[in-house]
C-alpha cells in the first residue's frame, strides 16, 4: 500500500496549487494523509476527488468551513497500522514522550505545524512523522512531503521528497 503524507499546504496563500509531482504521487497513492493547515476548502475538495482514500485534520490556520468537515484528531487502522493524525504536537523538546503518552494505542503519529520534516520513534515504538510543507519551506532548504509503503502492518521506504523551486510556488 502506497501512502502520501503532507501538511501545511496553506493554499492559496503560499502557492496557487500543489506541485505537479505531489499531485502525481496523490494519483498513484492508496492513502493520502494531510495533517492540517489547508487554509482553503478547495484543496480538500480536490484531494477528496483524486485520492483513493483521504485522512485529514484541521490546523490552526483553518477556518470554520474546514473545521466543520475535518476533525482535530483523526484515527484509523490501515492494513494493521494504527494511525493518528493531528496538526500540532507542541515543542520539539520532549515530543516523543508527550506523544507516546497521548497516543498509547497508535503505531504512527502524523503531524504538521512546524513546516520542519521530522522522523523519530518514541519509547514503546510510536513512529512520529512530519512531512514539512510542499509549498512553504520557511527556514528549511526546500519544501517537502513524504511517501511511504505499508507492508504487513509496518511502514517501509519512508521517503522525504524535496520540491524543486521551479514549481510555481508562492513566496518561500
- Residue ranges per domain, the chain? 2-164
Helix or strand holding residue 43 (H, E): helix 41-50
Average pLDDT, the chain: 94
How many whole angstroms from its chain centre is CA 101? 21
Pairing of strands 81-86, 73-78: antiparallel
Instruction: Specify which residues 5 forms β-bridges with.
Output: 33, 146
Interval 79-134: pLDDT, tens = 999 999 999 999 999 999 999 999 999 999 999 999 999 999 998 999 999 999 99
Q: Please tell me the pTM assigned to this model.
A: 0.94
In the CATH hierarchy, which top-level class contains the domain 2-164?
A: alpha beta
Interval 60-86: pLDDT, tens = 999 999 999 999 999 999 999 999 999
Q: Is 13 exposed, middle or buried (0-12, 13-18, 19+ CB in 10 A)?
A: middle
Interval 147-163: pLDDT, tens = 999 999 899 999 999 99
| pLDDT at residue number 166 | 53
Long-range contacts of 115-118 (CB under 8 A, 24+ apart): 115/8, 115/139, 115/140, 116/140, 117/144, 117/146, 117/160, 118/92
162's grid cell: 524535496
Check the CA dihedral 168-145-116-7 and report its sign. Answer: positive
Contact criterion met (CB below 8 Å) for 33 and 8:
no
Amino acid at each position: 500500500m502506497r501512502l502520501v503524507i503532507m501538511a501545511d499546504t496553506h493554499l492559496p496563500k503560499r502557492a496557487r496549487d500543489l506541485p505537479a509531482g505531489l499531485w502525481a504521487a496523490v494519483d498513484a497513492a492508496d492513502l493520502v494523509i494531510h495533517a492540517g493547515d489547508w487554509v482553503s476548502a478547495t484543496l480538500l475538495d480536490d484531494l477528496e476527488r483524486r485520492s483513493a482514500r483521504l485522512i485529514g485534520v484541521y490546523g490552526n490556520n483553518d477556518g470554520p468551513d474546514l473545521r466543520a468537515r475535518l476533525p482535530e484528531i483523526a484515527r484509523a487502522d490501515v492494513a494493521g497500522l494504527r494511525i493518528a493524525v493531528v496538526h500540532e504536537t507542541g515543542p520539539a523538546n520532549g515530543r516523543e514522550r508527550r506523544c507516546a503518552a497521548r497516543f498509547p494505542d497508535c503505531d504512527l503519529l502524523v503531524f504538521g505545524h512546524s513546516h520542519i520534516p521530522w522522523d523519530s520513534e518514541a519509547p514503546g515504538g510510536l513512529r512520529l512523522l512530519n512531512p514539512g510543507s510542499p509549498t512553504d519551506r520557511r527556514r528549511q532548504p526546500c519544501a517537502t512531503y513524504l511517501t511511504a509503503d505499508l507492508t504487513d502492518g509496518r511502514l517501509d521506504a519512508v521517503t522525504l521528497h524535496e520540491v524543486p523551486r521551479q514549481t510555481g510556488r508562492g513566496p518561500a
